[in-house]
Each structure stands twice: as structure tokens, then as C-alpha cells.
């Protein structure tokens, strides 16, 4: 099974490598304010894929952090930190048996 997995990976790599070699002609990407980026097509596709993966990971980061914090709390390692949705409320100060301000 492991050999089959590596064989599929090799075939996929060879197909993508052949695609990259067939698209070496310079392509122009027109950006804002009249700027241009000239690069081979496979470089532009790789840059777009990388940018999408990074932005996707950054969009998921708050959920990952919240999940990790709640898992740590469930294991009893520490108290859960208050989130923006849960305001921190303190008890009124009691001095000499009477609430402060009375």
C-alpha cells in the first residue's frame, strides 16, 4: 500500500512538472495603477495557490486558538480565559460587612 501511495505521488508530480514545462512562456499579470508582473504562467499559478493557502490558514487561526484553549481547559490544565463575548464581572467590594457604596 505504501508503494502504491508513492507511485501515485510520483505520477502526480510528473504530470504537474510536465504542465509547468509546457507553460514557460512569459505571462503578464496586470495589477492596480498600471503595474505589471511578467513571469511564467506556472509561477503565477504557484503564487496564487500559495497566497490562497496562507490566507485560508490565517482565516482559520482564531478558531484553532479558541479550540486549543478550550481543550486545555477541559483537561484541567488551566482556567478558560474570557473571550470578547463573555464580559468579566467582579463582585462588589465588601468593607466591614456592608457593600461598598452603601
The residue that leads in pLDDT, 93 or 53, is 53
- Tens of pLDDT along 39-89? 988 888 889 999 999 999 999 999 998 888 888 777 776 665 666 665 556
| DSSP classification of residue 31 | -
d(CA 48, CA 102): 64
d(CA 30, CA 64): 36
Cell triple for 33: 495603477
Handedness of CA 60, 66, 70, 73 (dihedral sign): positive
Is the pTM higher than 0.75? Answer: no
To the nearest whole percent, how much of the chain has pLDDT over 90?
29
β-strand partners of 40: 26
Amino acid at each position: 500500500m505504501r508503494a502504491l501511495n508513492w507511485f501515485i505521488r510520483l505520477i502526480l508530480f510528473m504530470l504537474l512538472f510536465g504542465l509547468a514545462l509546457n507553460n514557460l512562456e512569459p505571462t503578464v499579470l496586470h495589477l492596480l495603477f498600471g503595474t505589471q508582473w511578467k513571469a511564467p504562467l506556472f509561477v503565477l499559478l504557484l503564487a496564487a495557490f500559495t497566497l490562497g493557502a496562507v490566507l485560508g490558514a490565517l482565516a482559520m487561526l482564531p478558531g484553532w486558538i479558541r479550540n486549543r484553549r478550550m481543550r486545555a481547559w477541559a483537561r484541567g490544565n488551566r482556567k478558560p480565559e474570557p473571550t470578547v463575548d463573555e464580559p468579566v464581572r467582579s463582585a462588589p467590594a465588601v468593607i466591614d460587612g456592608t457593600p461598598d457604596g452603601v
